[in-house]
């Protein structure tokens, strides 16, 4: 099992006020699944994704990622786990604006300590894979939104992660470009990658094989 959670909660305390963003989420996800987490604004989708992506820790509950108890790890171990096992794609792309496509995609390899010959091979291959070989020396501000998101997908995949998370990956794209990005996700899912995407858009969710619907910090429905 890739992901196993038991009764995950996440409370945010603001002064004396407590927001119960997640109120007991139990989930099992296997390698190779293609999942959409849906639900209205404020239902806890991003909070859940941040916990599953080891960007945040739960208030209570259990989270096992590949049988590792995530809550027992140090900050250093967590960042290593994120670098080596997890890829992220965000709505706003989150690319470094002043460096080339190649350098943006290279970052996770640098953190992982991969040597330069192998880095270059991997960069060439992944840019080819997402259809951006001809843009490798461009900077993000010279790219379209769809191209920027392809760079983000390439960066998410470059370390060959166990799971890729995407939070509203088409949220800043027009519908035609959004479809192109979803076609790319379909392809990488078909190649055996595990993908968990968060979206409020039922059309986007329809691309995934399994839908998990959230409401008020809990799972309302799971098509598994
Ligand atoms: N850092 C934070 N501090 C306080 N409250 C937060 C924080 N992050 C999220 N929340 C609250 O937790 C709840 C769940 O938020 P979350 O961002 O997970 O929702 P979401 O389903 O991703 O919504 P959206 O579709 O608008 O992105 C909301 O009530 C939100 O206001
Ligand atoms: Mg969100």
- Is residue 5 in a domain? no
pLDDT at 93: 95
pLDDT at 133: 96
**Residue having the nearest C-alpha atom to atom 4 of ligand 1:** 12
Q: Which two tokens stand for residue 92?
A: 């706003």
What are the backbone dihedrals phi and psi of residue 155, each rounded to the nearest 5 degrees, phi first? Answer: -65, -40
Domain that holds residue 107: 32-58+72-222
Orientation angle between helical segments 116-129 and 101-111, nearest 10 degrees: 130
- Is residue 1 in a domain? no
Distances (CA, A) of 95 to 30, 65, 103, 108, 224: 29, 27, 10, 12, 34
CB contact at 8 A, 196 and 38: no
Residue 198 CA: nearest ligand 1 atom is 22
Collapsed DSSP state (helix, strand, coil) of residue 69? strand
CB contact at 8 A, 185 and 194: no
Q: What is the CATH number of the domain that holds 37?
A: 3.40.50.300
Beta carbon of 135 within 6 Å of any ligand 1 atom = no
- Is residue 65 in a domain? no
- Is residue 24 in a domain? no
pLDDT at 87: 97
| pLDDT per residue as tens digits for the range 70-96 | 999 999 999 999 999 999 999 999 999
d(Cα 153, Cα 172) in Å, to the nearest integer?
A: 15
**Residue having the nearest C-alpha atom to atom 8 of ligand 1:** 47
Distances (CA, A) of 93 to 6, 40, 42, 182: 31, 22, 21, 15
Residue 47 CA: nearest ligand 1 atom is 18
Beta carbon of 42 within 6 Å of any ligand 1 atom = yes
Mutate which of 9, 10, 14, 21 for ligand 1 pocket (most atoms within 8 A of beta carbon): 21
Number of separate domains in the chain? 1
pLDDT at 27: 97
Question: Closest Cα partner for 52 from 28, 34, 20?
Answer: 28
Task: Give the residues of the chain that fall short of pLDDT 70.
Answer: none
- Is residue 19 in a domain? no
pLDDT at 15: 95
pLDDT at 164: 98
Beta strand 60-65 pairing with 3-14:
antiparallel
pLDDT at 104: 98
List b or e across 37-69, with b for residues whose CB sees 16 or more CB atoms inside 10 angstroms.
bbbeeebbbbbbbbbbbbeeebbebebbbeeee
- Is residue 102 in a domain? yes
**In percent, how much of the chain has pLDDT > 90?**
100
**Residue having the nearest C-alpha atom to atom 31 of ligand 1:** 42
pLDDT at 84: 93
- Is residue 98 in a domain? yes
pLDDT at 186: 97
pLDDT at 58: 97
């Amino acid at each position: 099992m890739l992901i196993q959670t038991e009764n995950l909660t996440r409370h945010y305390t603001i002064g004396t006020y407590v927001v119960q963003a997640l109120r007991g989420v139990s989930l099992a996800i296997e390698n190779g699944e293609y999942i959409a987490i849906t639900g209205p604004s404020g239902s806890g989708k991003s909070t859940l994704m941040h916990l599953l992506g080891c960007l945040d820790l739960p208030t209570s509950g259990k989270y096992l990622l590949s049988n590792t108890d995530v809550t027992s790890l140090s900050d250093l171990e967590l960042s290593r786990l994120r670098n080596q096992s997890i890829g992220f794609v965000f709505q706003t792309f989150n690319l470094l604006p002043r460096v080339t496509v190649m350098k943006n995609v290279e970052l996770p390899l640098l953190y992982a300590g991969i040597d330069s010959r192998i880095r270059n091979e991997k960069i060439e291959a992944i840019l080819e894979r997402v259809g951006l070989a001809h843009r490798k020396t461009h900077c993000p501000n010279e790219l379209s939104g769809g191209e920027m998101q392809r760079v983000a997908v390439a960066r998410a995949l470059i370390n060959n992660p166990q799971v890729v998370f995407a939070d509203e990956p088409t949220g800043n794209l027009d519908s035609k470009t959004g479809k192109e990005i979803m076609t790319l996700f379909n392809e990488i899912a078909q190649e055996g990658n595990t993908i968990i995407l968060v979206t409020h858009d039922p059309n986007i969710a329809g691309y995934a094989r399994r839908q998990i619907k959230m409401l008020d910090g809990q799972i309302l429905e799971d098509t598994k």
